[in-house]
């Protein structure tokens, strides 16, 4: 099977089986999503969604968060992974957002990545979800699922995976494709024990074909 054919069949399956694919993080505006994505690093969306309502009530805007210290943010996020580091990132992010961007989340990847706590993955999530840009955020799920299915081959870095996916997925569906791969990795193609028996992609999946030949 050619790479082009594999992509075509994978996209067709997702289009029919998951026509609506969105982030599971709960937010009302770009600032809230940025905070939630920073908190979600190495942490479940479920946990983040438990933490953010009181956090957003206390700090409803970037200006409100910029006015406090990391130590004041910490109690609201202490149950997420790496709370000390994330409290510092949120405080720094909010101050820079206010000082450099008037409190508004920028729609530029370099500007986003200049914010404390924001790497390429987080920046691409914001671009895709908030601004509907053709940005492919590669987290551990996207990285794993892409390689297992065969959308990438021996990809060594998230950036290499991102470039391969963007090169082969139609631009207009890249924002949705990002969520397809995340949700598939979260609920079906799990890290330790992929649920191949309940996966509709076995006919095109490189991992499954190898496993069945053993």
Residues with a catalytic annotation lie at 121, 139
Token digits of residue 83: 């709370």
Separation in Å, CA 122 to CA 29, 92, 95, 115: 15, 15, 18, 10
Q: With contact defined as beta carbons under 8 Å apart, do 51 and 45 qualify? A: no
Which tokens in the block code for residue 29?
């505006």
CB contact set of 88 (below 8 Å; sequence gap of 6+): 70, 116
Reference 34, options 136, 133, 129, 143; nearest CA is 129
């Amino acid at each position: 099977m050619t790479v082009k054919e594999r992509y075509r069949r994978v996209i067709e399956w997702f289009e029919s089986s998951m026509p609506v694919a969105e982030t599971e993080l709960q937010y009302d505006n770009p600032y809230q999503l940025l905070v939630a994505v920073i908190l979600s690093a190495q942490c479940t969306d479920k946990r983040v969604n438990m933490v953010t309502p009181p956090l957003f009530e206390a700090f409803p805007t970037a200006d409100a968060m910029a006015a406090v210290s990391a130590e004041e943010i910490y109690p609201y996020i202490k149950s997420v992974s790496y709370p000390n580091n994330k409290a510092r990132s949120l405080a720094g992010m909010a101050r820079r957002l206010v000082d450099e961007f008037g409190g508004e989340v920028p729609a530029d990847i370099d500007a986003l990545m200049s914010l404390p706590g924001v790497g390429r993955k987080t920046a691409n999530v914001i671009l895709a979800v908030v601004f509907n840009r053709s940005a492919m955020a590669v987290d551990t799920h996207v990285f794993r699922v892409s390689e297992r299915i065969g959308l990438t081959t021996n990809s060594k870095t998230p950036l290499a995976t991102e470039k391969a996916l963007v090169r082969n997925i139609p631009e207009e569906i890249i924002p949705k494709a990002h969520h397809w791969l995340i949700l598939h990795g979260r609920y079906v193609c799990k890290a330790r024990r992929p649920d191949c028996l309940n996966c509709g992609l076995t006919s095109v999946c490189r991992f499954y074909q190898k496993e069945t030949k053993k």
